[in-house]
Amino acid sequence: METKKDKFVRVAESRTNKLISMIRLLGNCSNKAVYEYTDKDIKKIFNALESELKAAKSKFLETSETGAKFKL
């Protein structure tokens, strides 16, 4: 029977490797001999990626304090 840790490792490794592969493919779009783009296009792409990465990271960094009561 697969433990929660084993499942996490299996799924996280697979998804991380897929993301790395897709990021490398995105990098192929930098070839100006094949593609045309502006600095504004690049900023939009990387702002979107950075925003999603930040949101995903914050989910891992959240603590159980969300249900904690306020104290001075």
pLDDT digits (tens, 9 = 90+) for 7-62: 999 999 999 999 999 999 999 999 999 999 999 999 999 999 999 999 999 999 88
**Predicted local confidence at residue 72, as pLDDT:** 77
DSSP one-letter code for 36: -
Q: Is 60 exceeded by the pLDDT of residue 64? A: no
Q: What is the pTM of this model?
A: 0.78
Close Cβ partners of 26 (under 8 Å, ≥ 6 residues apart): 45
> How does residue 70 score in pLDDT terms, banded at 50, 70 and 90?
low
**Predicted local confidence at residue 26, as pLDDT:** 98
